[in-house]
């Protein structure tokens, strides 16, 4: 019985890697695609869409980006690594949006989710609606705390920090939803 060639062992290792990288991407994308509409429902905004998946880096607008919302998009070879995506959240009735960047990484039987410049928390896998609701509690708290903290700093004359944890955008084309 001939033993495997070096190429065959390399091809087997690459196939295993590829299978896991696709599993990782599919899991994180599936969860992310539930986060955007779920968080919008959680916020209770009555009119229009209030959350989109957007790229985690670079220019963005409050619109769906599909696979372009993920850090591994457009690279050809799908890397097996933590995946980031942006969550655009409408924060006012005057078309103001922020982009939260979430980084997701599988750690055993949990998915570790980190908000850029914010808290990290773990969701048990598989993720249930109850787990997503807990995630939404964290996201909401992060946003409210950020706005309250910076308003308090200004009120007390201590607002020099530039660290915000997300990007602001005022969408002037968004008037049709209101």
Instruction: Say if residue 15's pLDDT is above 80.
Output: yes
3-class secondary structure, 163: coil
> Which residues in the chain belong to E strands, given as ranges?
51-54, 83-90, 96-107, 110-115, 120-124, 166-170
Cβ contact 15:9 at 8 Å:
no
The lowest-confidence range among 26-35, 47-56, 66-75, 150-159 is 150-159
Cβ contact 170:96 at 8 Å:
yes
pLDDT at residue 3, as a whole number: 83
pLDDT at residue 177, as a whole number: 47
pLDDT at residue 56, as a whole number: 97
pLDDT tens-digit map of 54-99: 999 999 999 999 999 999 987 677 899 999 999 999 999 888 999 9
pLDDT at residue 159, as a whole number: 65
For the chain, what is the largest distance between any 2 Cα atoms, rounded to a whole number of angstroms? 79
pLDDT at residue 77, as a whole number: 79
Strands 96-107 and 120-124, by their bridges, are unpaired
Q: Could you give the C-alpha distances from 156 to 39, 85, 141, in angstroms and in order? A: 32, 34, 22
Average pLDDT estimate for 156-167: 62
Instruction: Say if residue 166's pLDDT is above 60.
Output: no
pLDDT at residue 76, as a whole number: 72
Question: In the chain, where are the structural domains located?
Answer: 6-155+166-177
Q: Could you give the C-alpha distances from 40 to 5, 35, 65, 173, in angstroms and in order? A: 53, 8, 17, 20
pTM metric for this prediction: 0.84
**Local structure of residue 94 (DSSP, 8 states):** T
Query: In terms of C-beta density within 10 A (0-12 exposed, 13-18 middle, 19 or more buried), how is residue 114 classed?
Result: middle
Q: Could you give the C-alpha distances from 120 to 7, 9, 30, 54, 153, in angstroms and in order? A: 41, 38, 19, 20, 24
pLDDT at residue 111, as a whole number: 96
């Amino acid at each position: 019985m001939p033993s495997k060639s070096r190429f065959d062992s390399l091809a087997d290792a690459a196939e295993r890697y590829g299978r896991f990288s696709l599993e990782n991407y599919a899991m994180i994308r599936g969860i992310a695609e539930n986060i955007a509409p779920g968080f919008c429902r959680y916020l209770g905004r009555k009119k229009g869409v209030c959350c989109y998946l957007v790229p985690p880096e670079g220019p963005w607008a409050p619109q769906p980006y599909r696979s372009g919302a993920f850090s591994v998009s457009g690279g050809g070879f799908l890397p097996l690594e933590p995946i980031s995506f942006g969550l655009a959240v409408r924060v006012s009735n005057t078309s103001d949006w922020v982009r939260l960047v979430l980084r997701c990484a599988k750690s055993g039987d949990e998915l570790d989710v980190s908000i850029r410049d914010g808290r990290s928390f773990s969701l048990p896998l598989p993720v249930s609606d109850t787990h997503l609701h807990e995630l939404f509690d964290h996201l909401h708290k992060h946003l409210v705390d950020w706005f309250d903290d910076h308003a308090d700093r200004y009120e007390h004359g201590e607002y020099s920090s530039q660290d915000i944890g997300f990007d602001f955008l005022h969408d002037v084309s968004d008037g049709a939803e209101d």
